[in-house]
Structure 1
Amino acid sequence: MSNPPLPPDLDSPSETNSPQPKRWVSQKRAIVLFSSIAIALYGYDQGMMSLVNTNHSYLRTMGISGDSSMVGVIVSVYYLGCLVGAIIASDMADKKGRKLAIKACLYTTVVGNLLMFVPGLFPWTSDVTWRGGSCALMLIGRVVLGLGVGGIDATIPVYSSELSKDGARGSALAKEFQANIVGLFLAFGFNVGFTSWLGKESQWAWRLPIILMQVFPWVLIFIVKSLPESPRWFISEDRVDDARKALVGLHGEIRADEFLDEFHRAQQQESDEKIGYLDMFKRDGSQFHPTMVTIMGQVNQALTGYGAVSVYGPQIFELLGLGIWEAEMTTLLNYFIYMVMMTVAWKKIDVVGRRSLMLWGSVGLAACFGLLAIFGGLALDFFRGPNLTIEILGSTVLVVSTSIFGICWLATVWLIPTEIYPSGARAQGSAISVIVWGLANFAVTFLTPLGFNYLKYWLFVVFAATNVFAGWWTWRFSPETGGRSFEENQEFFVTAKAEGSWVVKKVDGGKFQRMPPKQQDVANAEDGEVAKDNPSENTPLLGQFSESR
């Protein structure tokens, strides 16, 4: 028996309001699935490069040694592409729509990935370096891939949050980031499998994991037409008819007009003034304060050190005394536990709150990195050789710290920018988040190999200190945005300006230090909860009634 047809593209000119055939999957679930696979692209790239960096054929093709600074440059230049891609994609998302921007980013990742695959492959010559051309082409490929993935990272959280209810925005995004870790785990697993089968001297041990990345964008390109454009974006562009079509596709004729009316009124209440990047960075600009919260969130996430752990996992386990094979297998186990523990993140992020998770995460990570510095020192300077007790203790602590990061820091800093800006600045705010993420991770992934060479286990002491700073800044300046509507979160910044303080405990009597109690029950509601009778900016676009159609 064949599956029922997919829903028509809501952007299609031939779209009508006639009853549509029953879907094999609801649009709500399709959106979450699509967003999850898209976010998994980023995780796959991290896991993919972990063992590519140590492949002997890859190093020969690039014309570099294993301890060359170019290893870090090739990895980190990707993040520069991400920040440029975020700017381009966010502008396109505002002008042309979220869906078109996502499509453009997907095709860009296809091109970038192919450019990474071909260096030294053809024409067949004895000089696999192509007289330096292989390395140059790899660098170009990394930048182009970054353009696509950075654009996806900037647009997907906005797209997803605009179609999620306030009490479940965190859960939705955390589920997407669990898929991010699935991508990381799969990529590293493929690397381990191909390396074990073909060996580190084989070019296919590093080429195959790279080209397998093509599966992600092509699957996404295939299904993107079945997804709706954001009705909120249509409203912001005064495309009322298109917004209604999208809402009919989501909720049916009866509910569509109710939502349309409320979203239109919410849009009219916002300032008609175009919010540009300059206004977001000017000290007296209307969005300067939320922009600083966004920037420091990403800086602090980078300071946790987990960009380094994700990309250079095997090398970090080697600092704890493990051999090469043991380090690779332990890294694979670490990623698997990382993936599983993200379940705790999406179950708790809308219950505990973003701020509390980040605070406790910083405390836990600082303690873990302090212990890792001790274990690393014992392994390298005291025992000066393999020691099973130190290897087990050190590896256990690193696995625990990875779980802490996943639960407390991975999704939270991506979620906050989607919750604190008005709709006219939401895409720009998300783009700024990706830009800062790109710059911060460029620095971390570029400097980490140097840290391995010169600091060794003292690198853990550095990360312990940076986690202390991240926790302090979060406690003092980062408001709790969970369980509140977009408008309610913007009240924090209005009040902070009026009271002349950015310190959370001093703004509005410390109201934004924690989740609002009245929203706790909403946060625990089932995903299929029906929308409130009076839809507004804080009402779910995706409810049970859309699944039952």
Structure 2
Amino acid sequence: MANTMELHNRVRTSTHPSKHASGLDPSSKREQDPNNPARARGVGPAFHAVPSRAELHTSDNKGPSDTGTTPLPIPRSLRLPSSARLQSQRPEYAEIMGYTNAWKRLSPAQLNIAIQAFSLIAIFFEGYDQGVMGGVNASPNYVTEVDIGIADGTVTNTTKQGGIVSVYYLGCIVGCFLGGWAADRIGRINGLFFSAIFACIGGALQAATQSADFIIIARVVTGLGTGALTGITPVFISEVSAAQHRGAFLGYVFIANYLGISVAYWLDFGLSFVDGGYSAVRWRFLLAFQCLPALLLLVGIKMLPDSPRYLASVGKTEEAREVLQHIRGSYDAHVEQEFNEIAAMAQNTKPSSPIEFVKIILGMDKTHGANLGRRAWLCIWLQIMASWSGITAVTAYSPVLLRQAGYSAIKQNGLAGGLNTIGIIGTIISAQIVDKYGRRACLMAGAAGLAIVNLIAASLYEASRHDPSLADQIAPAAVTMLFLFNLIYAATWGTVAFLIPTEIFPSKMRAQGNGFGITGWAIGVGMTVLVNPIMFGSIESRTYFLFAGLNFVWIWIVYLLYPETSNRSLESIEAMFSTPSPFYWSMEKAYADNKQTLFVDEENRARWTERAEDDAASSQGKSMEKSMA
């Protein structure tokens, strides 16, 4: 143990020489003080308690990197909390859920790759589960097993079929809120761990299906796990990413969403040749395969550290500092400023109760200046708008659309797999543009592009319907529109709709708040999965005209109501919602007026420093009076 502590001390000495120069070395009075909260927790020389304002602004402090850069001071209203105060806010059971130190053996680059890898696995599970039922429903053996049709695979009970598919999204709604509630209490990593347990059990139960009732229960269990994974993973990514790369980080991770959908389609394509597609292996293997990513999460997720923002919110400020430094690869002035913002925001953070969800939705939340209800409805409607762009019609019903275009069964399945594979390219494009051009521009440009593609596709299908002899000539152009639709959606709405909900909620309920976005996703997808067959059955290809009109409406809704969050820290985004006005320009004005509470510019530095020193002197005076008394 002594050797380990000595090694930690050497590392800290080598990486932060200025800490010793400014009086923060392990031999200082502060470290030797038995009343120091950090010492009381058993934190040795490897961890230092959050420095006081006087320590941060001593005249000989050259900053974390000894480059002559003084860390930006924090306003009085956002003074760093004491470790003791934050310690009192920590949930009792947060200590029970153990973490490993395996991540400390990784370099910063390796750690970031590991975070991305396990995030990819979690999102891959969601994507695979979203696409797998298309192949399952096409299996004649499954159709007879759950009693929704006849032996040749013809479905005679579409209502029952749609119910089996849609009940999964009910589980997702419940899972995203329960998972978010748990993640805000026991941590993002522990939340993902328990979510993977539900996902694995649900997948195994689905593969063992014996009846319709059996698979309905199994899909609800799977939905609980998927909803929690989808709710927690983007929040975890958002909290460990730097502000200027947050969108790209999430964009690359969401490649796994389309990868999962594509794998589901291509697996079904291959299995459809086993016994002519009539084998039970076709659908049981498809459902069992989803257990693989869930098992990988169970085995490896505990090797990652938790989010610095979560750690700070439960009083583990020094662990938060260490994790942040390791992820960023350094501890320069910018990283220290980021840590100071995190610690300052955590000062008044406490876990929210489940009842707050109801209050927020109904507009009964009384948190001054927070406007949480508005944020919740922005998240819900963003995902509903994404679902009603036409994406579910293209994803879930692409074989039907391709059949209408005149393609054979084999070509239908092959093109359907390629249609979802193109989404991977779109997600890569999204990662390149979402931070550069902003969330709003991506959403509005994406909606415009989707509207135009829908119009062209509808016109082509209508021409083919009125003159069947044109089908062979029109089919390639119609299929091109489907591919272009998926490409545009993946590059814009497919990522941004999941990104914004992770950015606009305060730290105390960020994981739970993202549940509103997942709820909107489940409602939107579940609703469209149910009504798409009805629409295509009644108005046929004219359904695309409806989607085109809706996309034009989405442009104006985004322009008027949605904030720009790119290249802004999660803490500074709070300033946007300090105004009661729901309009974009009002939020931008509020941000411009109030962001200085977190970002202190050079002109105000001296004033804030002077105030911090006065506070420190006043605190020392009160301590002396108390000791004399």
- State the TM-score bracket (shorter-chain normalisation): 0.7 to 0.9
Which has the bigger relative contact order, CA under 8 A and spacing at least 6?
1
Question: Match of 1:376?
Answer: 461
Going from structure 1 to structure 2, the CA distance change for 1:425 and 1:465 (only over 3 Å counts) comes to: same
Question: Match of 1:453?
Answer: 537
Residue 392 of structure 1 pairs with residue 476 of structure 2: yes
What displacement does 1:341 show? Answer: 2.5
Cα deviation, 1:513-540, whole Å, max 9, x if unaligned, reads xxxxxxxxxxxxxxxxxxxxxxxxxxxx
3-state SS in 2 of match to 1:199: helix
The one of 300, 303, 313 equivalent to 1:226 is: 303
Question: Match of 1:182?
Answer: 259
Trace 1:201-216 onto structure 2 (pairs within 5 A).
201-216=278-293
Cα deviation, 1:235-276, whole Å, max 9, x if unaligned, reads 1112335435645764689779887655322322x5669473
What displacement does 1:511 show? Answer: 8.0
Question: Match of 1:467?
Answer: 551
Going from structure 1 to structure 2, the CA distance change for 1:193 and 1:356 (only over 3 Å counts) comes to: same
What displacement does 1:353 show? Answer: 1.0
Residue 192 of structure 1 pairs with residue 276 of structure 2: no
Residue 325 of structure 1 pairs with residue 404 of structure 2: no
| RMSD, aligned CA | 2.8
TM superposition score normalised by structure 2: 0.72
How far apart in 2 are the matches of 1:257 and 1:348?
28
The one of 564, 568, 583 equivalent to 1:503 is: 583
Going from structure 1 to structure 2, the CA distance change for 1:213 and 1:22 (only over 3 Å counts) comes to: closer
Cα deviation, 1:5-53, whole Å, max 9, x if unaligned, reads xxxxx99979789x95456971111101111111111111122112221
Residue 161 of structure 1 pairs with residue 238 of structure 2: yes
Contact 2:184 2:351 in 1 (8 A): no
Question: Match of 1:482?
Answer: 566
3-state SS in 2 of match to 1:416: helix
Residue 417 of structure 1 pairs with residue 501 of structure 2: yes
Greater mean deviation of Cα atoms: 189-198 or 344-353: 189-198
Residue 82 of structure 1 pairs with residue 172 of structure 2: yes
Question: Match of 1:266?
Answer: 345
Contact 1:46 1:310 in 2 (8 A): no
Structure 1: gaps (5+ residues)? 1-9, 121-133, 513-549
Question: Match of 2:225?
Answer: 148
The one of 401, 420, 436 equivalent to 2:520 is: 436
Cα deviation, 1:294-314, whole Å, max 9, x if unaligned, reads 122111111112123222221
Residue 102 of structure 1 pairs with residue 192 of structure 2: yes
Residue 35 of structure 1 pairs with residue 119 of structure 2: yes
Contact 1:69 1:450 in 2 (8 A): no
The one-letter amino acid of 1:311's match is: A
Going from structure 1 to structure 2, the CA distance change for 1:100 and 1:508 (only over 3 Å counts) comes to: closer
How far apart in 1 are the matches of 2:206 and 2:230?
20
Question: Match of 1:405?
Answer: 489
The one of 203, 206, 211 equivalent to 1:116 is: 206
Residue 243 of structure 1 pairs with residue 320 of structure 2: yes
Question: Match of 2:132?
Answer: 48
How far apart in 2 are the matches of 1:481 and 1:45?
30
What displacement does 1:143 show? Answer: 1.1
The one-letter amino acid of 1:101's match is: G
Structure 2: gaps (5+ residues)? 1-94, 150-154, 593-629
How far apart in 2 are the matches of 1:357 and 1:436?
19
Greater mean deviation of Cα atoms: 318-327 or 157-166: 318-327
Contact 1:39 1:180 in 2 (8 A): yes
Contact 2:199 2:225 in 1 (8 A): yes
How far apart in 2 are the matches of 1:229 and 1:460?
44
How far apart in 1 are the matches of 2:118 and 2:414?
30
How far apart in 1 are the matches of 2:426 and 2:392?
18
How far apart in 1 are the matches of 2:258 and 2:195?
20
Contact 1:169 1:350 in 2 (8 A): yes
Contact 2:563 2:588 in 1 (8 A): no
Residue 277 of structure 1 pairs with residue 362 of structure 2: no
Structure of higher CA gyration radius = 2
Trace 1:297-312 onto structure 2 (pairs within 5 A).
297-312=382-397
Contact 1:11 1:228 in 2 (8 A): no
Going from structure 1 to structure 2, the CA distance change for 1:305 and 1:257 (only over 3 Å counts) comes to: closer
Question: Match of 1:59?
Answer: 143
How far apart in 1 are the matches of 2:449 and 2:337?
46
Contact 1:379 1:386 in 2 (8 A): yes
How far apart in 2 are the matches of 1:14 and 1:80?
31
What displacement does 1:228 show? Answer: 0.4
Question: Match of 1:350?
Answer: 435
TM superposition score normalised by structure 1: 0.82
What displacement does 1:506 show? Answer: 4.9
3-state SS in 2 of match to 1:119: coil
What displacement does 1:475 show? Answer: 1.6
How far apart in 2 are the matches of 1:24 and 1:251?
7
Identity %: 26
How far apart in 2 are the matches of 1:137 and 1:162?
38
How far apart in 2 are the matches of 1:14 and 1:106?
16
The one-letter amino acid of 1:363's match is: A
3-state SS in 2 of match to 1:421: coil
Aligned positions, number? 483
Going from structure 1 to structure 2, the CA distance change for 1:265 and 1:208 (only over 3 Å counts) comes to: same
Question: Match of 1:296?
Answer: 381
The one-letter amino acid of 2:486's match is: T
What displacement does 1:431 show? Answer: 0.9
Question: Match of 2:611?
Answer: none
Cα deviation, 1:122-149, whole Å, max 9, x if unaligned, reads xxxxxxxxxxxx1111111111111100
How far apart in 2 are the matches of 1:13 and 1:41?
25
The one of 395, 410, 423 equivalent to 1:338 is: 423
Going from structure 1 to structure 2, the CA distance change for 1:380 and 1:159 (only over 3 Å counts) comes to: same
3-state SS in 2 of match to 1:411: helix
Contact 1:322 1:386 in 2 (8 A): no
Question: Match of 1:316?
Answer: 401
Question: Match of 1:537?
Answer: none
The one-letter amino acid of 2:344's match is: R
Going from structure 1 to structure 2, the CA distance change for 1:247 and 1:367 (only over 3 Å counts) comes to: closer
The one-letter amino acid of 2:584's match is: V
The one-letter amino acid of 1:136's match is: D
Going from structure 1 to structure 2, the CA distance change for 1:147 and 1:35 (only over 3 Å counts) comes to: same
The one-letter amino acid of 1:366's match is: A
